[in-house]
Structure 1
Amino acid sequence: MLLAIDAGNTNVVFALFEGRTLKGRWRIATDPRRTGDEYAVWLMQLLEIRGVERQAIDRIIISTVVPRALHNLDVLSRHYFGIEPLIAGQGAASYAIDIDVDEPRSLGADRAVNAVAAHAKYAGDLIVIDFGTATTLDVIDFNGAYKGGIIAPGINLSLDALVGNTAMLPRIAIEVPESSSVIGRNTEDQMLIGVFWGYVAMMEGLIARIRSQIGRPAKVIATGGLAVLFDEAADIFDAVDPDLTLEGLAILAERASK
């Protein structure tokens, strides 16, 4: 079995694969100070609950946008599984795609892995939207080349900035507004309209601009925790693929094994 580890700015996600079939996933808050031993205690308990023997895991691949977390994940792999992990974008797990931007080395591993997975799963020109700590929009052409993209504050970051820099605005939950009206009748509704529908309008506008610049039809693939929430309220995605990054890691590991 493959253990795929995706270390993001907010969470580290651990996923088990048999081939490209996802068998289970767990997440823990990202903390660069968390040691390999701490990861091991947490993960071994979850594997035991799932009934998975440690020895069943024979490959590990790691992707991270938090450089300080890599060492401790490497310790977890080597000391507790006896496996030298693949690192996404390096060696046998290289992306093997054309990264057609000014500074290819600056592209985050998660975005490159998304590009690999999206091109493997969907045909034609693609716009991949990943709702994470930041919201990213990435353009992959019909040949699988990464052409560039957009980085915007994640919706939770936007809400944190709004609440944290005002004296009287309350903390609210991000959800689909109950009313279709965009004229709020109280403070909480007005905040939710501004954050939620404002974010939808941003995505609609950016997608339209990207499509216009591409000059060809382009599918919009959404991933990340809030993709389903936005998909419920607005017709802006052609597909919602919550496990796109993890599947990209499985594809890289499969290619490396060959």
Structure 2
Amino acid sequence: MILVLDVGNTNIVIGIYDKKDLITEWRLSTDMFRTADEYGIQFLNLFSLSKLEINMVEGVIISSVVPNIMYSLEHMIRKYFKIGPIVVGPGVKTGINIKYDNPREVGADRIVNAVAAHEIYNKPLIIIDFGTATTFCAVRENGDYLGGAICPGIKISSDALFQKAAKLPRVELLRPSEVICRNTVTSMQAGIVYGYIGQVDYIVHKMKIEMLELGEQDILVVATGGLAKLISEESKNVDIVNPFLTLEGLRIIYEKNKKQVNYENIRA
């Protein structure tokens, strides 16, 4: 089995793969103040509840956009799983060619998503990841990662409205049936959700124009992340929602780099 970890600013998404099959998936809150042993206890409990044994794990791969958490996580993996994890970053084989001015600036999650979408769909791509920040990535059919755009995530935008406007309440992120609303809560929901849908569609439209100018045709728009379904249901541009795109990308990158796996101790 392969253990894959996608460390985001809000959540750590964890997947267990048996070859190419995702057999279970968990989410933990990202907390850079937890120790390696605290994370170890959480992982042991998750494995126990799912009736899995940690000694069944033959490899671990991590992508992270939270550098301060990595010491605890890597130490936990070595201590409890007896394996040196692969960490997505410079020197790791991905199969894509990053055209960023400084390739080291590209978030690991964006690279992983690009790897997965390129491998799975094999088309010119626009990938939208609805996380703490929303990222838009453009990938050519040949695997060139061109770059993209980053904007505040929908939850950040919603929280900012609540925190900065004294009389406005915190609201649940739901899509009202109308835009002309008759109370404060649904008015806020309409503005946040439909406004965000408009932002997504406009950015995708502009990215498609720029990719068409490069000769890319039949561009596929793939969405992932926690709020992908909410936005994609109304968007005119999203073709596919793949909630496990990042986990798939981690599995694919692991397969390309599994010779790097280092067993810290030989199991009896």
Q: TM-score, with normalisation over the residues of structure 2?
A: 0.92
Q: CA deviation at 1:90?
A: 4.3
Aligned residues: 255
Moved more, 225-234 or 36-45: 225-234
- Paired position in structure 2 for 1:75: 75
Counterpart CA distance in 2 for 1:22 and 1:90 is 26
1:84 aligns with 2:61: no
Counterpart CA distance in 1 for 2:234 and 2:83 is 44
Q: CA deviation at 1:108?
A: 0.3
Counterpart CA distance in 2 for 1:257 and 1:107 is 22
Counterpart CA distance in 2 for 1:231 and 1:78 is 39
Counterpart CA distance in 1 for 2:28 and 2:129 is 19
Counterpart CA distance in 2 for 1:23 and 1:12 is 17
Is the 8 Å Cα contact of residues 211 and 217 (structure 1) preserved in structure 2?
no
Question: Where does 1:179-194 land on structure 2 (aligned, <5 Å)?
Answer: 179=177, 181-194=178-191
Identity %: 43
Counterpart CA distance in 2 for 1:189 and 1:79 is 49
Which of 208, 211, 227 is the aligned partner of 2:208? Answer: 211
Counterpart CA distance in 1 for 2:165 and 2:23 is 44
- Paired position in structure 2 for 1:2: 2
Counterpart CA distance in 2 for 1:257 and 1:40 is 23
Counterpart CA distance in 1 for 2:228 and 2:189 is 17
Q: 1:149 to 1:249 in 2, by over 3 A?
A: same
Deviations 1:84-118 (A, max 9, x none): 11111244x33232110111110000000101001
Which of 187, 194, 198 is the aligned partner of 2:195? Answer: 198
- Paired position in structure 2 for 1:59: 59
Deviations 1:142-185 (A, max 9, x none): 011110100010000001111100110011100121x2x32121
Counterpart CA distance in 2 for 1:12 and 1:239 is 23
Counterpart CA distance in 2 for 1:25 and 1:189 is 33
Counterpart CA distance in 2 for 1:38 and 1:69 is 12
Q: CA deviation at 1:224?
A: 0.2
1:168 aligns with 2:161: no
Query: Aligned to 2:84, what secondary structure does the other structure show?
Result: coil
Report runs of 4+ in structure 1 exceeding 4 Å deviation: none
Counterpart CA distance in 1 for 2:165 and 2:107 is 32
- Paired position in structure 1 for 2:253: 252
Is the 8 Å Cα contact of residues 100 and 147 (structure 2) preserved in structure 1?
yes
Is the 8 Å Cα contact of residues 223 and 240 (structure 2) preserved in structure 1?
yes
Gaps of 5+ in 2: 260-268
1:226 aligns with 2:221: no
Gaps of 5+ in 1: none
Counterpart CA distance in 2 for 1:126 and 1:134 is 19
Letter in structure 2 aligned against 1:86? I
Letter in structure 2 aligned against 1:142? E
Letter in structure 2 aligned against 1:32? M
Deviations 1:235-258 (A, max 9, x none): 431110001111100001111136
Moved more, 94-103 or 21-30: 94-103
Counterpart CA distance in 1 for 2:65 and 2:210 is 28
Is the 8 Å Cα contact of residues 201 and 235 (structure 2) preserved in structure 1?
no
CA RMSD of aligned residues (A): 1.2
Deviations 1:104-134 (A, max 9, x none): 1100000001010010001221000000000
